[in-house]
Structure 1
Amino acid sequence: MAKVQEHLAALQTTIELILKISGSAGASVGVISNGEPHDSHYGFMDHRLTRRPDVDTLYGIGSLSKSMLAQTFANLVAKKVVSWNDTVHSILPEFDNKDKNLTDNCSILDLLSMRSGLPTFNNLWYQGNSSPLVSRSSLMSMVNGMQTRFPLRSDWRYTNWGYAVAARACSNHWEWFAQLWLQNGERTGMLLRGSWDYRSMLPITSQKIDSATIMGAAGGVCSSTRELLLHYGGLVAALKQEIDGTKTDSPVFNGLATLYQGQIAAGQKVETSTQYTLGWVKGCLPGRVGLLSENAGLLEEAPLLGKDTKPQVLFTHTGSLAGFTTTAILLPEMRSAIVVLVNTKASCDSSDFIASAVLEKLVGGTGDHDFVQMASTTKIQHIFSQSHISPASSMDGPNHGEAATTDSVCDTRHYDTRHQPWIAILNKLKGDKAAPTESDDKMETFTDVEAPEMFTYEERVYYNHSS
């Protein structure tokens, strides 16, 4: 028990630097090992910088929700309500894609393992200033009109749409899922300590994604470090029993053999040790993790974790919403799990780097990786890829805490604090600095925005730190 806490303490500076470099407002880090939970927390919860997050602070966990929906289906299979191989069309006749093979043969298992061929198309629902502009009632007409990216079961592609359809297929039991996993509706807010060079931090409302929205099943769970460590701790204990062949007659978790079996190679065209199960990426150590993280496309090569350690299977997943990034890692052989919850959509996935640093400490890897430098490199690559800044011109940007110099004027808008925090917004008019104002303690999440880039669903805020 003391050893894990020592690892977290030793990583404190590393974690703080990763959060600062990435532009993350705050985070909660949790580890459970042999049933013993450990946690550490960073950043602030209120605008006066007096309250820190704790083990009960609530976060949107995004796609960490997927394994929970899959577990709900496993419970239904155990009760013989559905079968993994039932076709979606037989359960949900309105599932009628123009790809006849998909319509006739796609199963629940195909949807949850992301081998259906449905496209990613997140921009069709992830929009509207953190509020989706399409309703749940539009789901089937949208999915039926989508063109598949590959023939059924021939490849893998990350998509939220399959999880939304799977939930609709068992809509009679949707309320069960909602009551089981989506009980926490309000998120506790955190405030950034500041923004850094050539970036600004934008307070935004939490992504509206719950049981009433089109993607609630794919990413609508809201939870805390305490709750997730309890859940993942029980899960790794059950998986360890499954591995050792000591299963109980009355399991807490049903269907583990199916849920955690690799269904298809993930991320590559050839057979690989990295596979997608049902809501998890299955890999092994020594190995590379973070396949689903936004960092994966920004690093030349992901670090090899667990070097010189005993081979073992692990399961990982990440989550990302407007204002949140999350990472979870399961280590069944060690009966251990890691969860990192970050309350900012930053310039790199800080949750992934932090979780990797904790994992390396926990398993005793000898790779001597510099995760702080990786965060810095990834941040720069992200800025260049999003804003088309050249390395030379990036050196000529505004000073710390200053707005970018444009031919424009600062336009300040006021909002009723019962609905929206009072903030200052800089529009593309004629320019000067804009300072944030006092707002209530219910500001929730933040997005780190590069100065030259304007996102369609966000408005830029520049902070004057001299005030």
Structure 2
Amino acid sequence: MELKITPGLIQRLHDLEPRLQAICQISGIPGCSIGVMHEGQVVWKANLGHRNVELSLKTQSDTVYNIDSITKSMTAAAFGLLVADGKVKWETPVRDIIPEFASLGDELDKQITPLDLLSMRSGNTMLDSMSWQGNNYIFFKKSETIALWNATPRQGSFRNSFLYNNWCYAVVGVIIEKLSGQSLHDFLRERIFEPLHLKNTRMTDFTPDEKRTLCYAILDDRSPVAIPEPAIGTGTFMEGASGLLSTVDDMFVLYGAYMAAIKDQTSRRTNSTHGNPFKECTTLTSGHNFLGNSISLREQTYACALVRCQLPGPLGMLSMNMKLMNIPPKNVMPNAAEGASSRLCFYHQGLMPGSSANVAFLPETDTIVAVLANACPLGDGADWMSQMIMEVIFEAPVRHDYESFARETAAKVLDHLPSLKRTQEANRLVGTTPSFPLEEYAGKYHHTQTRFWVEIAVVKECLSICFMGVKMETYELRHYQDDTFTWIISFNEAARRGRFVHYYDAVHYLIRFADDGQGIRRLYWHCTRDTGETPYLFLKSQV
């Protein structure tokens, strides 16, 4: 049944506001901006909380937020423009564009195409904690992108697995720059943002902006603490994955144009739409990869930086919520819009320390739901709010208790680091001592595949670990057992230092040293979540 805009819809959305505020309170979100477009019209906006808590500055629909991984859909669209221009094909091997790509890889690596990267089906995992640790500080330069990719191991089957990897879009950003002869932010601005007359959408350029929200971490009492903004932006590593800023007002224009192009090009079986900057939309929005974590009977695929799903069905499949709900007692994500008519939905989510975002759109009803927030909260509150709003728009007969889901995920986030401490203690061998004096462990240890390094130093009666020589990224390293040390920290310290508080497991916080017969010369670390059973090797510099 076709839905039309009625005063009843607007009233239902207005009546939802107390529940949205409850999600913010439970998740600890200091401020967010929400917008709904339906049947092609902006029908409702809500601005909750503050963009600057200390100065009591409220959020507005033109408040500028980091949109994090929602950037990826624009990077994918930019690549589509190059395909339409005849400069490249979706199936062109990346090595044909960048000869040094996969120089350390096997034959499968050499077959990787841009479409493989855009749809997360390369099978390669990113070395995420080598990119950044705390305080949103990025350790690598954009010029190192290809060399870093060449060090990524394959953890999934090539073209037969979904393995989310931010570095895929870092590579695509470099490809766009090489083929276009422009910087990524200039290309996006000239080809997409300026034609659409967007007012506040741009690549992060690290200049002051009075409309910009601050970024916050959430302490265990749900109070916010300001942290540095994400350092991904113009000219940085992972710019194509997570560098954009935008507003709810601009989201309507941007995704409204995208939806119009999708509908037109699909119906006319063409790759362009007159007066619309988006091209190659049928490829951009086709399902190229199956989401391996879905048990839905309806479609759950990954297009080019968009999850493509059929409602009713689970949403938030890229969210931390999915990982938090995917354990007892709930086991699965809720069936969003349950009982409502079946509709195709596209969405993506974004998350960095200090920011989170969710944009969903349904072309059949010209619907957009955008939620932008200024915190990495206790659970993905933007995801819960988006799902709640869609239930109201489509008058789903079954309404879920999203406040209960939010409380469940928040409790698990709050307990994550404490639970890792408990796990470490439960597995610890009591009564062991280091094999050598602490001074023997000190020194610089270099990863064998990249230029990433850590420095171990003696501080009073224990060790410290410093990542890449960045002093603010120094942590106490305490004896755990034998020649293994732990650097796990409290929840509040992790939050104040701008770290993800929900992300890694217990072995990530263990550093194991090894004697090669001439003393301590090796260090082993599970530095990423997808390391597998074998930790990465670091070798001590010879002085």
Tell me whether the two structures share a fold, i.e. TM-score over 0.5. Answer: yes
Distance 1:363 1:215, change over 3 A: same
* 2:291 aligned residue: 266
Deviation of 1:276 (Å):
0.5
* 1:61 aligned residue: 67
Contact 1:288 1:302 in 2 (8 A): yes
- Which residue of 19, 23, 26 maps to 2:24? 19
Q: Which amino acid aligns with 1:454?
A: E
The equivalences for 1:44-55 within 5 A come to 44-47=50-53, 50-55=56-61
The equivalences for 1:2-401 within 5 A come to 2-37=7-42, 38-47=44-53, 50-172=56-178, 173=180, 175=182, 177-179=184-186, 180=188, 182-183=202-203, 185=205, 186=208, 188-190=211-213, 198-245=221-268, 250=274, 252=276, 253-268=278-293, 273-299=299-325, 300=330, 301-388=332-419
Q: Secondary structure at the match of 1:44?
A: strand
Name the CA distance, whole Å, in 2 between partners of 1:457 and 1:55.
28
Name the CA distance, whole Å, in 2 between partners of 1:97 and 1:269.
34
* 2:494 aligned residue: 455
Name the CA distance, whole Å, in 2 between partners of 1:237 and 1:268.
30
Distance 1:56 1:77, change over 3 A: same
Deviation of 1:29 (Å):
0.3
Name the CA distance, whole Å, in 1 between partners of 2:128 and 2:420.
25
Name the CA distance, whole Å, in 2 between partners of 1:28 and 1:58.
10
Offset from partner CA, 1:373-416 (integer Å, 9 cap, x none) = 1111110111222321899xxxxxxxxxxxxxxxxxxxxxxxxx
Distance 1:134 1:85, change over 3 A: same
Q: Scaled by the length of structure 1, what TM-score is found? A: 0.80
Distance 1:10 1:121, change over 3 A: farther
Contact 2:378 2:413 in 1 (8 A): yes
Deviation of 1:48 (Å):
5.4
Deviation of 1:189 (Å):
4.8
Q: Which amino acid aligns with 1:332?
A: P
Deviation of 1:34 (Å):
2.6
Farther-moved stretch of structure 1 (15-24 vs 32-41): 32-41
Distance 1:71 1:197, change over 3 A: closer
Q: Secondary structure at the match of 2:159?
A: coil
Contact 1:84 1:109 in 2 (8 A): yes
Q: Secondary structure at the match of 2:226?
A: strand
Q: Which amino acid aligns with 1:17?
A: A
Contact 1:101 1:152 in 2 (8 A): no
Deviation of 1:76 (Å):
0.7
Name the CA distance, whole Å, in 2 between partners of 1:390 and 1:127.
19
Which has more strand, going by share of residues? 2
Contact 1:31 1:39 in 2 (8 A): yes
Offset from partner CA, 1:111-154 (integer Å, 9 cap, x none) = 11110111033212132521201111222222112211134212
Contact 1:59 1:223 in 2 (8 A): yes
Please, which runs of 5 or more residues in structure 2 have no aligned partner? Answer: 190-201, 423-474, 477-488, 500-543
Contact 1:44 1:193 in 2 (8 A): no
Q: Secondary structure at the match of 1:41?
A: strand
Distance 1:92 1:196, change over 3 A: closer
With a CA cutoff of 8 Å and minimum separation of 6, indicate the structure with the bigger relative contact order.
1
Please, which runs of 5 or more residues in structure 1 have no aligned partner? Answer: 392-426, 429-449, 461-467
Name the CA distance, whole Å, in 2 between partners of 1:366 and 1:151.
40
Q: Secondary structure at the match of 2:264?
A: helix
Deviation of 1:164 (Å):
0.8
Aligned residues: 404
Contact 2:350 2:356 in 1 (8 A): yes
Contact 1:236 1:335 in 2 (8 A): yes
Q: Which amino acid aligns with 2:260?
A: A
Farther-moved stretch of structure 1 (300-309 vs 284-293): 300-309
Deviation of 1:197 (Å):
6.0
Distance 1:452 1:264, change over 3 A: closer
Q: Scaled by the length of structure 2, what TM-score is found? A: 0.69
* 1:394 aligned residue: none
Distance 1:202 1:47, change over 3 A: closer
Distance 1:366 1:121, change over 3 A: farther
Contact 2:219 2:495 in 1 (8 A): no
RMSD of aligned alpha carbons: 2.9
Q: Secondary structure at the match of 1:357?
A: helix
Offset from partner CA, 1:171-212 (integer Å, 9 cap, x none) = 233735302253564564557999786454321011111021
Farther-moved stretch of structure 1 (27-36 vs 187-196): 187-196
Distance 1:293 1:195, change over 3 A: closer
Offset from partner CA, 1:83-104 (integer Å, 9 cap, x none) = 1111000000010243322332
Deviation of 1:293 (Å):
0.6
Distance 1:317 1:41, change over 3 A: same
Deviation of 1:166 (Å):
1.4
Deviation of 1:241 (Å):
3.0
